[in-house]
Chain A
Amino acid sequence: MIPRKFEYLAPTTLAQAVSFLRKYKDAKVLSGGMSLIPMMKLRLVSPQYIVDINNIKGLNYIKDGGRVVRIGALARHADIEHSPIIKKKLPLLAEAAPQIADMQVRNLGTFIGSLAHADPAADWPASILALDAELVAQGTGKRRIKAVKFFKGPFETALKPTEILVEAVIPVPSGPKVGQAYLKFERKAGDYATVGVAASAVLNQKNEVQSLGIGLTAVAPAPFKATEAEEILLGQRPTKDLIEKAAQAAADMSDPSSDLRGSAEYKREMAKVFTRRALNKAFERAGVSV
């Protein structure tokens, strides 16, 4: 399968890359290429210009900034999978990474590219919603976008066509008791999620939920933060009953569509089951048994 013809541009600075995007209207950023190239081969998209950002130095990083972790535009899925900083500070991402695609795809595909692509079944969006991350977009200026404001619909984000997503700033959950989990339900190895649930919990000494983030993917036109489920548990000591109610609330917020991975009804049920399991696991890892 051969894509349509295009002009290849390989800027070496971000400013140059942005100026290409401003100059050429029908241009696409190429980062890992693990979604863009398959789509071009299928001719689902055929941009006239490709702006390859892989030659821009200083974009592949995972930085420990104490209370936040910063992930740069060219950090690959595999870099996150094997990063000691991520393991220690954001184990939710370390748990999600090896469940994405396969080794070869993870070697090239980028965390930021996956967010920019906004596939409604991708894994990273749910994770950054649960962790309340902020994203940094670079146009002629820089602006920060909260994860909850970023995902607008299937393959649709708050990013402008002339902007490049350059960084994710992820707060490190901290408090007396911290637990995180990412659970993905897939039909076969390397498949996209039927449902994916990210949960990040902080509890106080009395075992009351101090903060909670729950992100779901693949069960709505865009990944979403299950705020109604979070509210049920906030300030409470988690019990079986409350977790069940929260899981139901997450499922009620979902809006799945029927496809090869299952009927809408089945997916909504799985959203409940996997939210329950993700919460149980996060609380268990925080040292609180329910």
Chain B
Amino acid sequence: MAAKKMVKQTEPAKKNVSVEINGVKYSYDVEPRLLLVHFIREYAGLTGTHIGCDTTNCGACTVLMQFDGKWKAIKSCTYFAVQANGKKILTIEGMAKGDELHPLQKAFWEHHGLQCGYCTPGMIMASAGFLMINPNPTEEEVRHGISGNLCRCTGYVNIVKAILAAAEEIRSSGKPVVEV
């Protein structure tokens, strides 16, 4: 079956993709098969978004995207860049405001929520997406919320602590989880 398909292979037209990432517009003509994570890393040059497994399991590629009227966490290794055309995206680079870290970033730092840091951008973006759904979670709910993100170093305990601490700070500040 695969061999037959190769023979039939056409050269598909490139598509223009314009997306706003962290408030900046990026517009390129790309192959339809380009994955969003490669658009973010290689075209927009934002390498904070990582690729861990490339199979929708580890969450290292998690970004926030605005669709169906809401900001939601998605795995950018499992989404075509063409699908994102016209949409807004937020990556780890868009979380801090100048020198001021986002409460999640600060909490990960203070509670030692990272060691090698490979999973951290995805972990933080997933946490942001989670806190928008559930601003006042229990520890159990945090664990369920980040179950799509793997960390090979920390054992999760400090990550969970960090998310709970950030949730509290965000609630008491009265500000939204992300300001965009």
Q: Which residues of A contact B (CB under 8 A)?
A: 1-8, 10, 26, 30, 33-34, 37-38, 40-41, 43, 46, 48, 50, 52, 54, 60, 74, 76, 78-79, 82, 98, 101-105, 107-108, 189-190
Contacts and interface: CB of A to CB of B under 8 A. Distances in A.
Contacts, number: 107
A121 B174 CA distance: 43
B55 A103 contact: no
Contacts of B15: 8
A102 B133 CA distance: 14
A107 B74 contact: yes
B40 to A, nearest CB: 15
Given A1-B54, A5-B11, A8-B12, 20 more contacts: A4-B6, A4-B33, A5-B9, A5-B31, A7-B12, A8-B82, A38-B55, A41-B78, A46-B2, A46-B5, A48-B5, A48-B8, A48-B10, A102-B147, A103-B146, A104-B75, A104-B148, A105-B75, A108-B74, A108-B78
B159 interface: no
19 contacts: A5-B9, A5-B11, A6-B33, A8-B32, A30-B83, A33-B78, A34-B56, A41-B55, A46-B2, A48-B10, A50-B32, A52-B82, A98-B144, A102-B149, A103-B129, A103-B147, A104-B75, A104-B148, A105-B148
Interface string B39-64: 00000000000000011100100100
A273 B78 CA distance: 36
Nearest to B34: A2
Given A5-B33, A8-B82, A107-B129, A26 B8 contact: yes
Contacts of A5: 9-12, 31-33
- Complex A-B, nearest 4 residue pairs according to Cβ-Cβ distance, in ascending order: A102-B148, A8-B32, A189-B147, A7-B12
Contacts of B2: 43, 46
Interface string B1-36: 010011011111101000000000000000111010
B12 A6 contact: yes
